[in-house]
Chain A
């Protein structure tokens, strides 16, 4: 494995200097390195292939700029393309007027960070002068209801739960009604983690969707996810037509290529990034930062510093 994409590219592109144009043949080695770097960042194999075809097309025929090394120029094209694909940004939660109740719904695989993210969104809303309510619709994981109550207490946000009820669909329904009575204007549904191949549980999400009409449904995706990210994102999107993605656990050293894969297969905006376990560790999604990260942090910055 090479230390940095930039180093690898420097040697791959050595022969390019002095040639007038970037062409498929003179870029081949460099582009192979870019592809490998994407794969090592956990971008899905097909998405990486697709991406590289586009980049190659864009790069072919571009004049080798005097001001840049050819490798810098190619990385620049790659970076711009990545950035573009990761956008456009849309940080809005699409809240209705305060007189109405806006329903937000969280879904995703087990352990992705749904419950924590519900808390984080609750904090964001409360700080924005809204009256959120968290809903404990995970009746499956041991102590999931307690977990949400602890978060609610920490934040001073009401939590709706019903420990007798066995049907999460009913809990969600009742919670929306309760919200209207209690004067909450945003309801955040914390659903149980599930596998996208679990038909029964996926149908349950569809029922919640049909009955509670969430304004926005967010898929929570763990930044460490590998090649399987495309499969689960596709399945959740097919079942629910998700409105946005939240990438969690970006405070670690995962390169987060899953973000690109998920964006590619769902086409919905990536809204936020989770950057810690604390409830204020939620940031708006920035395509340029994600693009840098996927390419290997520092590479792009150093490119622009030397250019």
Chain B
């Protein structure tokens, strides 16, 4: 399967919800846009987790343009697509590399979101671009987290810096950066333990890890990525807010888009916090990652061949 096909496969269920569900609203040739229709539409949109306000905004947009008219499905979908693209609008936001020396990327997020796996995917992408990579096993807390990252490093054939047991994560991060500097490695990715954004101590630990990275490279980390689980609901906004503050996040990796979840919380995050979505993850394998493009993403959501 080619890359494009894999993404489509991964997003199949995503598009089904919007496309098939919207299509179901149209019995035959067209439908009168009345309150019943708008209410059904509201339900479909809300189920993407985009949140209350964006849903109402989309419904209002359809109402404004079409209320009282009999329209075809494609007309409604066009309105939705245009508005969704507007709500999500951002440029593609690939990794920003250091002008010289290693590019350091710190990865953070709540427990089980998909951080470690996303690191493997990023490392695979960099390797594919011919860059050298080192991983820093900065999750010194969770059972076998170091082993997990180590296995990925072995599979991908990249180095992994591990501290002795009980090391402080800031120390491991420091050592990983040091390794990258000493060995002319181009990209250094530092894993961190999962933490909930309400845990003050653990959140300030992220700040410490960041500061420790800066000791050797003042402008690092060049990227601090927040990994967000696509099945997350409205809590994603609180996550984005707090991680952005504690770790200075530069963007989001949206993981687990291969389920039935729509990751609509990204709409709310784009609206309220403005962090760009950099990459999307759609599987458990190291090649299941692509650069996020909102226009393409919205098109895929409504792709006819996929949904039907």
Contacts and interface: CB of A to CB of B under 8 A. Distances in A.
B114 A111 contact: yes
Please provide the 10 A-B residue pairs with the shortest distance between their CB atoms, ordered closest to farther. A226-B233, A111-B112, A42-B233, A252-B196, A150-B143, A146-B144, A147-B144, A142-B151, A143-B148, A143-B147
Interface stretch (A90-98, A236-244, A253-261): A253-261
B21 to A, nearest CB: 12
Given A45-B46, A140-B284, A40 B234 contact: yes
A185 interface: no
Contacts of A11: none
B260 A222 contact: no
5 contacts: A110-B112, A149-B144, A197-B260, A226-B236, A249-B196
Contacts of A251: 196, 198-199
A158 interface: no
B259 A232 contact: yes
A273 to B, nearest CB: 14
Interface string B194-237: 10111100000000000000000000000000000101111110
Given A42-B233, A146-B148, A224-B236, 15 more contacts: A36-B52, A44-B47, A111-B111, A112-B112, A142-B147, A142-B148, A143-B148, A147-B144, A196-B260, A222-B229, A228-B259, A228-B262, A252-B199, A253-B238, A277-B142
B52 A224 contact: no
B260 A110 contact: no
Most buried by B among A39, A257, A277: A277
B234 A226 contact: yes
A109 interface: yes
Contact of B46 (A143, A227, A253): A227
Given A252-B198, A257-B233, A228 B142 contact: no
Contacts of A36: 52
B152 interface: yes
Contacts of B234: 40-42, 226, 255
Contacts, number: 139
A109 B144 contact: no
Contacts of A252: 110, 196-199, 235
A249 B234 CA distance: 15
Interface of A: 36, 39-42, 44-46, 49, 109-113, 115, 140-144, 146-151, 154, 195-197, 222, 224-229, 231-232, 249, 251-255, 257-258, 277
Contacts of B110: 224, 249, 252
B227 to A, nearest CB: 10
B229 A227 contact: no
Interface in B133-162: 141-145, 147-148, 150-152, 155
SS class, residues of chain B in contact with chain A: loop
Contacts of A46: 43
A111 B284 contact: no
B19 interface: no
A141 B144 CA distance: 11
Nearest to B233: A226
Interface string B115-145: 0000000000000000000000000011111
A143 B112 contact: no
Contacts of B231: 109, 222, 225-226, 228-229, 232
Contacts of A232: 231, 259-260
B49 interface: yes
B33 to A, nearest CB: 20
A225 B112 CA distance: 12
A154 B150 CA distance: 22
A154 B262 CA distance: 38
B28 to A, nearest CB: 25
A148 B13 CA distance: 32
A253 B111 contact: no
B189 interface: no
B232 A224 contact: yes
A45 B49 CA distance: 10
Given A251-B196, A253-B198, A226 B256 contact: no
B265 interface: yes
B261 interface: yes
B113 interface: yes
B49 A226 contact: yes
B142 A110 contact: no
A148 B144 CA distance: 8
Among B47, B151, B233, B238, chain A packs the most CB atoms within 10 A around the CB of B233
Given A147-B143, A196-B260, A253-B198, A228 B49 contact: yes
A44 B264 CA distance: 14
Contacts of B48: 227
Interface string B241-279: 000000000000000101111101100000000000000
Contacts of B112: 110-113, 222, 249
Contacts of A109: 231, 256, 259
Most chain-A CB neighbours within 10 Å: which of B51, B256, B261?
B261
B143 A110 contact: no
Contacts of A222: 112, 229, 231
A231 B148 CA distance: 29
A197 B151 contact: no
Task: Choose among A112, A115, A144, A227 the residue with the greatest number of B CB atoms under 10 Å from its CB.
Answer: A227
